[in-house]
A = this chain, B = another copy of it.
């Protein structure tokens, strides 16, 4: 029986809220090891970009990461946010080690190519060096990933944090029963976006198709759900979507996904 490994992803809603972050990290620190945290960016990167006079470039509705924007996300995600999270976890007696995908060669990505749009320094995950990540876990550390990867040719790349979480979970599934938990601002996947308590407890592939057809799952939830099913189809044993408070309180509602 493989040991359980929890991979928990938190988004901007936790990062941006000091009280929520402190509370979540206390709960996360109290979880048994091994475990991995993946964090998104939040509004801080945009605020810093604005202050630095770095313009947000959108092409075809998509954000472009030019050199100045890459510098901002590297500073903010790998520097400001990652080190704050690590320091707070250390305070809570969790032996955290902050990582970008370049550190320990943990996540290799490839610069995104598109026939029409030049996305700039955006990376799509190519492979996860699960052996190196496992060495850190075996040594008793708790990896904390930010959403920056590298191409092994010296280039850092901006990468989607949800994707990092699912790819790390997939990579670690060789040696662990990987449980992937996406924490976001809602209590789970909702049937009615205006009703906070309308959490759908279980979604399987069939149900997912129905929910998509009925437009109950739409917009920003679609790529998140794709990441979830991609993980389940690649040996991740469990995928959950819920509010960060589920980490500390097992009685709370959340959505469990299955294939």
A residues sitting closer than 8 Å to B (CB atoms) are: 48, 51-53, 71, 74-80, 82-84, 86-88, 90-91, 95-100, 102-105, 132, 135-136, 139-141, 148, 150, 152-156
User: In the complex, A156→B98 CA distance in Å?
Assistant: 14
- A51-B53, A97-B103, A104-B141 as given contacts; A79 in contact with B87, CB under 8 Å: no
By the criterion CB–CB under 8 Å, are A82 and B78 in contact? yes
In the complex, what residues of B have CB within 8 A of residue A154's CB?
A: 87-88, 90-91
By the criterion CB–CB under 8 Å, are B105 and A95 in contact? yes
- How many protomers of this protein does the assembly include? 2
By the criterion CB–CB under 8 Å, are A78 and B83 in contact? yes
User: In the complex, A83→B154 CA distance in Å?
Assistant: 10
In the complex, what residues of B have CB within 8 A of residue A88's CB?
A: 154
By the criterion CB–CB under 8 Å, are B148 and A140 in contact? no
Name the CB-closest residue of B to A149: B87
The contact of A87 among B53, B102, B139, by CB within 8 Å, is B102
In the complex, what residues of B have CB within 8 A of residue A75's CB?
A: 48, 75-76, 79-80
User: In the complex, A154→B91 CA distance in Å?
Assistant: 5
**Most chain B CB inside 10 Å of its own CB: which residue of A77, A79, A88:** A79
By the criterion CB–CB under 8 Å, are A102 and B79 in contact? no
